Amino acid sequence: MSAINRMTVLLLIALVGAVGPGAAARAEDADGPEEKTWLAAMDEKIGEPSKDAEKAAPAETSGWTKPVPVGFYLDYTLATDYIWRGINLSEFRGEGREKLNHQFTAGVNYDAGDFGTFDFSVWFEWYGANDQTTGVNSDGNLQEVDYTFSWTYDLSKLCPDVPVELTLGWIGYDFPQFSDDAGFTNEYFIGLALDDKKLLGDAWFALNPTLTYYQDLDDVGCFGQGSWLEFGLSHEFVLADCPKLGSVPIVKDLTLTPSFTLTMDIGYLGSGTRAATTQYGLEVGYDLGKALSLPEQYGSLGVTGFLNYSDAVTNDATNFGVNLNDEFWGGVSVGWEW
């Protein structure tokens, strides 16, 4: 009840009391207990908030909103091998016991709203037997540093019937163990990612197809500049969505993601255009932040185990002086994102 309503009720009560004992007695005789009931109801009403006050009260907000359109992410990966475009860059002839490969990523992105998202990251790769794979007698184990800058735009903002994300980017490959031109190369890439579930409906088994084209800008390739094309499919199974697994501890925070990738070599490893590799993968992700009840404002924390198999379709690659081989590798990564 507003302050004005409360004052009005109090004035009425005061007027009733000012009439005197006789008037009060007449009122009591006339109405009896109903009058007392009405006064008691009015007394309770005074202590209740009015409907206007309820409307004026601010609604409680749920969840957390990021204060700035900037994101950060970190990732550390421990892998049995470093496989890049079908080539094992962390194995040498007669290696014997596997030497683990260490990879680290640090990145930042900026959400420009209607103008898309800009992202910049740096990727480091260490390998304990680096001198054996590169042929360079060096004490350094840092084998490669990659710099990636990209811009991603959701094309559905222009046409709702086209649920496709477009990504344009540039990658610089730095090899600290080499000098001069051999120590650096770069390329640009164009990527398309289709949200087929949004296109075909919730009943569709989403395959999330992607198509990415890489064009070398330096001297990698049989004819000076080569190209590389990748087509990928994947589907994420969230175990929390399963009726019988959604309440099982640990299991409910797991996701399983099988994937398939077909790669095309366009004058990159060898002459001409041909299928290079088919890769089959399986990732098991664990939402560690959710399991630990990590507050949303501290970001998300996850652990992912992965297992991949690369099947070489062709084995006569000549540009790197090695043949493509069938490769089987795996590892684990820990990632944080804010």
- pLDDT tens, position by position, 88-116: 888 766 566 678 899 999 999 999 999 99
For residue 65, being part of any structural domain is answered with no
**Any domain includes 62:** no
Rounded Cα distance between 280 and 193, Å, is 19
156 in the same domain as 20: no
Query: Whole-prediction pTM value?
Result: 0.76
DSSP code per residue over 278-315: EEEEEEEEEEHHHHTT--GGG-EEEEEEEEEEEEES--
For residue 8, give the H/E element and its range. Answer: helix 3-18
232 and 307: one domain?
yes
- What burial class does residue 233 get, using C-beta atoms within 10 Å of its C-beta: 0-12 exposed, 13-18 middle, 19+ buried? middle
Any domain includes 63: no
Does residue 14 belong to any structural domain of this protein? yes
Nearest to 258 by CA among 329, 306, 199, 191: 306
pLDDT digits over 292-303, tens only? 889 999 999 999
pLDDT at 24: 40
For residue 258, give Cα distances in angstroms to 171, 282, 330. Answer: 26, 4, 14
| CATH number for the domain that contains residue 161 | 2.40.160.40
Tell whether 61 is covered by a domain: no
**Residue 28 included in any domain:** yes
Which residues of the chain carry a pLDDT beneath 70?
1-62, 92-97, 129-140, 221-224, 315-323
Specify whether 151 is located in the same domain as 176: yes
Look at residue 137 in the predicted model and tell me its pLDDT.
53
Domain membership flag for residue 64 = no
Do 167 and 46 lie in one domain? The reply is no
**Do 33 and 141 lie in a common domain?**
no
Specify whether 305 is located in the same domain as 184: yes
Domain span including residue 156: 71-337
**Number of domains within the chain:** 2
